[in-house]
Amino acid sequence: MDSNGLSHKAHDATALRVPTYPSNCLEFAKIFLAPETQVSDQAEKAKVPLNILLVGAGLGGLATAIALSQSGHKVTVYEQTSVLGEVGAGIQVPSNSTRILFKLGLKPYLEPYVTEPENIAFRRWQTGKVIGNTSLAPDFTEKFGAPYYVIHRAHLHSALCQKVQDMGIEIKLGARIENYNPSVGSITLADGTTYTGDLVVAADGINSVARKIVLGGEDLAARKLGFAAYRATVDVERMKSDAEVSWILKKPALNIWIGDSRHVMTYTIGAGKAFNMVLSHPDATDPSTWDPLKAVDNMKAEFEGWDPVLTKMIGMVDKSLKWPLVSGSVLDKWVSEKLVILGDAAHAMLPYMSQGAAMAVEDGLALSRSLAKINSKEQLAESLSIFESVRMERAGQMQEASLLNSHLWHFADGPLQEARDAAMIPEVEGIPFSYSPNQWSDPATQMWCYGYDTERAIDEAWEKSRPNGV
Ligand SMILES: Cc1cc2nc3c(=O)[nH]c(=O)nc-3n(C[C@H](O)[C@H](O)[C@H](O)COP(=O)(O)OP(=O)(O)OC[C@H]3O[C@@H](n4cnc5c(N)ncnc54)[C@H](O)[C@@H]3O)c2cc1C
């Protein structure tokens, strides 16, 4: 016994219990607490290699194909388009996603194309004054073990395609899947050809055909929330030649102007060669009525009266694409027998946390981790059920966080907006703070969002389902 009455045994790691409240206080001791659950740099190898049919070669489908294949499964990808590619301009790759992409071996494929922004600055809609600030580099790498990147979508997609090709994973193009049979594990193409596997993974996007089948025939389509976004790029050479706007290119950064019902997110992509803009605004009209020829003029009209620097940059846009913004309905099922949906098919979200594709990347690694636990094909249902429950909670919470930003960013000038801006003063002035309406900065949200360990979440769920290791 020591002087405070504790036995020396109490100072062993065996006396430490992981708290039931959200806390990272035992991070330093995790190697002592459960050495067998330490996540290695290598993919956990599947004890039961499966023949997996994967539908959809989008960002989520390709990342999932890589994760599953590295774990030892045979994966064949079926994609409806005859040419692989991605539409739109930039995409943010937050640290929780980069960490996984690096683990999957994508670092050398991405490095030539990425930009690492130093910070994200929230700006007042009318003046551009900085009202919120999060340091991203090197802070996010130091805190969360991986950088926060921005990249052109086409570059991210081609990096994934190149990796898929180098790993020898087959992609069948022009292969539109019209039907699924979950009990057999088969898919049927438009021409009637049927393929059967041990498991079908559908990463077929927001208008998923598979989702309806998983839900038993009654689809729950995405919810329209009355927002649309213009996506555009500006030529940086043109910006550089204009002293009023060229300063924004001086350092790589994300800048977001927020105001009544609208915001504009900007950053450089193509390793600094292009300037990306996403301009969100209220629009509840039917996308089939949108005239693409009027997009640029309509976009300019939406932001009249905003910060002159911003409107000058908007004035430099020659081409713009208008995109409906929706949030996936919260589903109570992602799995039906041998069919599982993931990515936007399962949990599309508003892009206001920049986490939609990141969630699909996490899904891919989580599925591969959960499948690696099975010792026989009889355990497939259990493995899919654990995957489903872990990922449903995580992606559902990210849908919620994204939706919350649609309120936090869009206050009209008034008391709520003033209180929000006042709450961000400490982060702008470099004073310590314990909460922030900027979800990139808020300490609790930050740890949950970017510090999330996908594999550990799956390991813990397996342990919980078999407390005695049976
Ligand atoms: C404006 C905007 C900005 C965004 N910004 C970000 C961001 O910064 N960071 C982030 O992480 N996410 C962001 N997202 C979200 C992100 O783009 C999506 O979550 C992600 O692309 C979804 O990937 P997916 O593979 O699930 O689906 P998709 O990319 O839609 O891919 C589905 C694939 O399946 C194919 N397919 C569909 N049906 C069939 C079929 N029947 N048979 C065969 N093939 C089929 C399609 O052709 C496609 O290739 C943003 C979204 C928007 C709209």
pLDDT at 7 over 60: no
Residues with CB under 6 A from ligand 1: 55-61, 78-81, 91-92, 176-177, 203-206, 209, 229, 231, 278, 323, 343-344, 351, 354-358, 360
Cα angle 65, 388, 224 (rounded to 5 degrees) comes to: 90
CA distance 396 to 393: 5
What whole-number distance in Å separates Cα of residue 405 and Cα of residue 112?
32
Ligand 1 atom 50, closest CA? 351
- Closest-CA residue, ligand 1 atom 29, reads 58
Number of C-beta neighbours around residue 348 at 10 A: 26
pLDDT, the chain, mean: 93
**Cα–Cα distance between 150 and 164 in angstroms, integer?**
21
Q: Which of 383, 385, 248 is closest to 308 using CA atoms?
A: 248
Ligand 1 pocket test: which of 66, 91, 325 has the largest number of ligand atoms within 8 Å of its C-beta?
A: 91
Report the nearest-CA residue for atom 4 of ligand 1.
351
- pLDDT of 351-392, one tens digit each? 999 999 999 999 999 999 999 999 999 999 999 999 999 999
Ramachandran area for residue 216 (φ above 0: left; ψ -120 to 50: alpha; else beta): left
pLDDT at 239 over 90: yes
The closest alpha carbon to 420, from 431, 444, 396, 404, belongs to 404
- Sequence-ordered list of residues with C-beta below 8 angstroms from that of 163, at least 6 positions apart, any chain: 62, 66, 104, 105, 106, 109
Of 344, 362, 450, the one to substitute when testing ligand 1's pocket (max ligand atoms within 8 A of C-beta) is 344
Q: pLDDT, tens digit, for every residue of 139-186?
A: 999 999 999 999 999 999 999 999 999 999 999 999 999 999 999 999
How many angstroms is it from 188 CA to the middle of ligand 1?
A: 22
Q: Which atom of ligand 1 is nearest to the CA of 176?
A: 42
How much distance in Å is there from the Cα of 274 to the middle of ligand 1?
22
Nearest CA to ligand 1 atom 52: 351
Rounded CA separation 469/7 (Å): 30
> Does residue 411 carry a pLDDT above 90?
yes
Q: What is the DSSP letter of 434?
A: S
Rounded to the nearest angstrom, the distance between the alpha carbon of 307 and the centre of ligand 1 is: 32
Instruction: Return the closest-CA partner of residue 215 out of 329, 334, 327.
Output: 334
Phi-psi region of 165 (alpha: psi -120 to 50; beta: other; left: phi over 0): alpha
Would you give the DSSP letter of residue 451?
Answer: S
Please give the distance, rounded to the nearest whole angstrom, from the Cα atom of residue 284 to the centre of ligand 1: 21
Q: Which atom of ligand 1 is closest in space to residue 91's alpha carbon? A: 8
Every domain of the chain and the residues it spans = 51-465
Q: Which ligand 1 atom minimizes the distance to the CA of 357?
A: 11
Query: Of ligand 1's atoms, which has the minimum distance to the CA of residue 345?
Result: 26
The pLDDT score that the predictor gives to residue 65 is 98
The whole-angstrom separation of Cα 55 and Cα 231 is 27
* Cα angle value 268/274/278 (rounded, 5°): 60
Residue 195 sits at the vertex; the CA angle it makes with 194 and 199, to the nearest 5 degrees, is 135
pLDDT band of 36, cuts 50, 70, 90:
low
pLDDT of residue 18: 80
One-letter identity of residue 224: K
β-pair type (223-235, 320-327): antiparallel
Q: Per residue in 288-309, pLDDT tens?
A: 999 999 999 999 999 999 999 9
Atom of ligand 1 nearest to the CA of 231: 1
- Assess whether the previous peptide bond of 138 is cis (omega < 30° from 0): yes
Q: What is the distance in A from the centroid of ligand 1 to the CA of 207?
A: 10
Residue type, 211: R
Crossing angle, helix 356-371 and helix 380-408, to 10 degrees? 160
The CATH classification number of 51-465 equals 3.50.50.60
Measured distance CA(161)–CA(57) in Å, rounded: 8
The closest-lying atom of ligand 1 relative to the alpha carbon of residue 356 is 19
- Check if the beta carbon of residue 89 is closer than 8 Å to that of residue 276: yes
Point out the ligand 1 atom lying closest to the alpha carbon of residue 78. 43
Atom of ligand 1 nearest to the CA of 229: 1
Cα R_g (the chain), whole angstroms: 23
Test site for ligand 1: of 53, 54, 59, most ligand atoms within 8 A of the Cβ: 59
Whole-number Å distance, alpha carbon 251 to ligand 1 midpoint, is 29
Q: Is the pLDDT of residue 37 over 60?
A: no
Instruction: Count Cβ neighbours within 10 Å for each residue of 283-317 and write b for 16 or more, e otherwise.
Output: beeeeeebeeeebbebbbebbeebbebbeebbebb
Of 330 and 163, the structure prediction assigns the larger pLDDT to: 163
Pocket test for ligand 1, best of 66, 80, 449 (most atoms within 8 A of CB): 80
DSSP state of 428: H
Would you say 62 and 77 are in contact if contact means Cβ atoms under 8 Å apart?
A: yes
- Angle among Cα 334, 336, 340 to the nearest 5 degrees reads 50
User: How many other C-beta atoms lie within 10 A of the C-beta of residue 456?
Assistant: 15
Cα of 146 from ligand 1 centre, angstroms: 23
CA 467 / ligand 1 centre spacing (Å)? 37
DSSP assignments along 288-343, one per residue = GG--GGGHHHHHHHHTTTS-HHHHHHHHT---EEEEEEEEPPPPS-SEETTEEE-T
- Mean pLDDT on 222-239: 93
Tell me the β-bridge partners of 119: 135
Residue 323 β-bridge partners: 229
Interval between CA 416 and ligand 1 midpoint (Å):
34
CA 297, CA 286: separation in Å to the nearest integer? 18
pLDDT at 110: 97
For a ligand 1 pocket test, name from 64, 76, 77, 79 the mutation site with the most ligand atoms within 8 angstroms of its C-beta.
79
Residue 37 Cα to ligand 1 middle (Å):
32
Dist. CA 101–CA 113, nearest whole Å? 14
Q: How far apart are CA 213 and CA 334, in angstroms?
A: 10
Q: Does residue 5 carry a pLDDT above 50? A: no
